[in-house]
Amino acid sequence: MRPPKVYSIDEHRIPHYKIDKHAFYVIEKLRVNGYLSFLVGGSVRDLLLNSRPKDFDISTSAKPEEIKKIFKRNCILIGRRFRLAHIRFGKKIIEVSTFRAGETNEAELILRDNIWGSPEEDVLRRDFTINGLFYDPEVQTVIDYVGGYPDIEKKIIRTIGVAKVRFIQDPVRMIRLIKFKARFKDFEIEVNTKKALEDCKKEIVKSSPARILEELFKMLESGSSKRFFQLLTKEKLLDLLSSKLSDYMEKEKDVFDFLQIIDDSIKKNFLIKIERPVLVTSLIFNMLDKCLKNEYVKKNKPVHLGIIFAESQKVIEEVFNPFFKISRKLKAQMISILMNQYRFYPLIKSKKRKIKIPKDPFFELGLNFFYLRSMLDPTLINVYNLFNDKYLEQKKRKPIKPRDQEI
């Protein structure tokens, strides 16, 4: 393999102060103990793009058990297919991976990924060139084995190696390709990578459902969820994962209005933390609401919480099965969120309403979801305030005052 291209501080201009101090500490401690270690992947990419990295990941020659020995109780090892070390600093986690090898040019699904290797081998098994860069904080250099630095300058998303082979080896890379296209709007997908996406999209069903669900969650939390799901629908990948949700997104655009509110809220550090059950419920609420109005309200059929419970279960099953297998807890949280929407604002309005807080452990999630709805429809904010005041009074805690609806 050719030696890497090394870029000095005069060329890459990454400010030293933007590197996380705990990441510095982990790298230095690994090096003191005789191991190679670098910042790697997304954090290097984001620093070069002059944006703030969400995470600072580290790659090292130390094996997981050796990392554990160095950091002791501050370190936990996770994963089977891909063994990682998480170094804890309070609530912050620095993720440390061992240099890996083992990917070949064979177009077959990779089932295990714990074959240790060199820095060069580790880079070659990563997904895209823009994620294949090392940063050495000791001498402040960017180390590039795969042409990632010029691709960032040219705003190109390109696989490392043969795109078709890479997508067959790990189909989740296709979801990540859409993810990066959604996040970096002015980047273009390289022509061979684009063609491979079209040729290999059916391979996506061979992926781990848990890994894809995690990627969907991350994008819902990213501030770019609207564009991500638009692209996922356009490229017909969502149709393979959830035909029900894909059909709805192609025909109805209201879910994208919801995602836009969530994206804007996340970008502006919204006061109320938007938790994952709330985020994923945003994908299906309008679907349920239309069903209830069309099948019950318009036909003058009685609609009560028992019916809403059953219809909520049905929608969740249709959207997330058979590919996704969401946990029982998440399903219970989503059903609670959906049911509580009709406690706050019933389908058939009554003249006399009594504000009553149910004994529901997930009630606050439903309240937070209803506040998101009020940002789309400001006429709901008074109802939100009534329930929120009553809830806080019941819980006897400091009130949370919603911000203005303008984003």
Note the pLDDT of residue 108.
59
CB-neighbour burial class of residue 405 (10 A; exposed 0-12, middle 13-18, buried 19+): middle
CA dist 160 and 306 (Å) reads 52
Distances (CA, A) of 55 to 25, 93, 239: 15, 8, 31
CA 147/CA 156 separation, integer angstroms? 11
Please give the chain's pLDDT, 407 residues, in tens.
678 999 999 999 999 889 999 999 999 999 999 999 999 999 999 999 998 898 999 999 999 999 999 999 999 999 877 899 999 999 999 999 999 986 656 655 655 556 899 999 999 999 999 999 999 999 999 999 999 999 999 999 999 999 999 999 999 999 999 999 999 999 999 999 999 999 999 999 999 999 999 999 999 999 999 999 999 999 999 999 999 999 999 999 899 999 999 999 888 875 556 899 999 999 999 999 999 999 999 988 888 999 999 999 999 999 998 899 899 999 999 999 999 999 999 998 776 778 889 999 999 999 999 999 999 999 999 999 999 999 998 887 555 545 444 33
Taking residue 350's Cβ as centre, other Cβ atoms within 10 Å add up to 7
Q: What is the DSSP string of 194-256?
A: HHHHHHHGGGGGGS-HHHHHHHHHHHHTTT-HHHHHHHHHHTTHHHHH-HHHHHHHHH--HHH
Cβ-based burial of 385 (10 A; exposed 0-12, middle 13-18, buried ≥19): middle
**CB 316 within 8 Å of CB 301:** no
pLDDT score for 49: 95
Q: Are 210 and 180 in contact (CB under 8 A)?
A: no
Active-site pick, 113, 122, 127, 263: 127
pLDDT of 353 reads 73
Q: Which residue has the tokens 């894809």?
A: 212
User: DSSP letter string over 152-207?
Assistant: HHHTEE-BSS-HHHHHHH-THHHHHHHHHHHH-TT-EE-HHHHHHHHHHGGGGGGS
DSSP state of 100: B
Please report the pLDDT score of residue 389 as a whole number: 93
Residue 295 identity: E
Q: How far is CA 383 from CA 174, 281, 372, 406, in A?
A: 42, 20, 13, 18
Q: What are phi and psi of 142, to 5 degrees?
A: -100, 130
DSSP 325: -
Task: With CA atoms as reference, report the closest residue to 326 among 279, 287, 266, 273.
Answer: 279
> Is 360 among the catalytic positions?
no
The confidence score (pLDDT) of residue 54 equals 87
3-state secondary structure of 138: coil
Catalytic residue among 57, 113, 144, 170, which?
57
Using CB atoms within 10 Å of the CB of residue 178, give its burial: 0 to 12 exposed, 13 to 18 middle, 19+ buried. Answer: buried
* Catalytic residue check, 127: yes
Tokens of 236: 């017909």
> Which CATH architecture describes the domain 5-160?
2-Layer Sandwich (3.30)
Sketch the domain layout of the chain as residue ranges: 5-160, 254-395
Q: b/e per residue, 192-212, with b = 16+ CB within 10 A?
A: ebbebbeebbebbeebeeeeb
Please count the other Cβ atoms lying within 10 Å of the Cβ belonging to residue 398: 7
* Type of residue found at 211: R
Output the six-digit token pair for 283: 């994908």
**Length of the chain, in residues:** 407
pLDDT value for 407: 30
Q: How crowded is the C-beta side of 123, counted as CA atoms within 13 Å?
A: 22
